[in-house]
Amino acid sequence: MSDLTPPAAPTDEPPATPAATPPTRPRARLIALIASGAAVLVVIAIVIAFLVVPRGEPVALVDEETPKAAASAAPTATATPTPTITPTPAGAVPAPAPAPAPANPAPANPAPANPAPVLPAPPAPVIPALKIDAMNATATTACGPQGHILITWSASGALANSATMNVRSGGGTPIFNQNWDGYDPVDHLELLTVDCTRPLWYFTLTVSNGTASKTARLTFANGQNVGWSSVAP
């Protein structure tokens, strides 16, 4: 096969010359590679610091020699919450409080190994028998409107200051009747104004031991001791 392509027509323009490629520099490539690696390391360090370092409030760095001013803040008033009132339905009866749990019974004390012997009951107090032992009456002056009579007595088993003497006339107007209290079981009483013109007088003694009492009466007639005898309480 023959080549039918016509030859190119001749032109007056010179042929295009390809652009010249600058010669490559190995040192520039090395510097660019190192700068890229450093940039990558900085980015990695920033990411690690962002993930690892805790996020907190920034701390102000103050020189140790500079005194720190005391922070003062005005107190903030706190509003007291208003309690919410729960409406109670009319006629509602509050539930009774639960009964307290029963207390555990106290454990029984074990019996001692050697119980103490039972002591006998103390004896009853001994109260001495109460008795009037003697009575006597004697005129110490001549019988008259202002006669003197000495009365003496003795009683056993009676308390101190428990004797009472009653003097009573058996006639005359008005009837003489008077008590003298606070005498001892063995004591005496002197009457200084006994009218012996009244023929009959009675001297009655009563003593007590705190539980029981005894009474005896002496009869004095016409200025003479007629005798005494016990009287039923």
Residue 162 has a pLDDT of 96
Domain count, the chain: 1
Give the residue from 226, 209, 197, 20 showing the smallest Cα distance to 127: 209
| Token pair for 48 | 């690690």
Asked whether residue 180 is domain-assigned, the answer is: yes
Higher pLDDT, 94 or 66: 94
Asked whether residue 190 is domain-assigned, the answer is: yes
pLDDT at position 11 over 80: no
Residue 70 has a pLDDT of 46
Lowest-confidence segment of 119-128, 151-160, 215-224 by average pLDDT = 119-128
Asked whether residue 147 is domain-assigned, the answer is: yes
Asked whether residue 186 is domain-assigned, the answer is: yes
The CA–CA distances, whole Å, from 38 to 33, 44, 49, 81, 188 equal 9, 10, 16, 60, 141
Asked whether residue 114 is domain-assigned, the answer is: no
Range of the domain at 173: 132-231
Q: Are 197 and 145 in contact (CB under 8 A)?
A: yes
pLDDT > 90 in the chain, percent: 34
48: helix, strand or coil? helix
Q: What is the pLDDT of residues 22-57, one digit of tens each?
A: 445 667 777 878 888 888 888 888 877 767 655 555
Asked whether residue 204 is domain-assigned, the answer is: yes
Provide the CATH number for the domain around residue 180. 2.60.40.10
pTM: 0.48
Integer Cα distance of 107 and 155 in angstroms:
60
Asked whether residue 92 is domain-assigned, the answer is: no
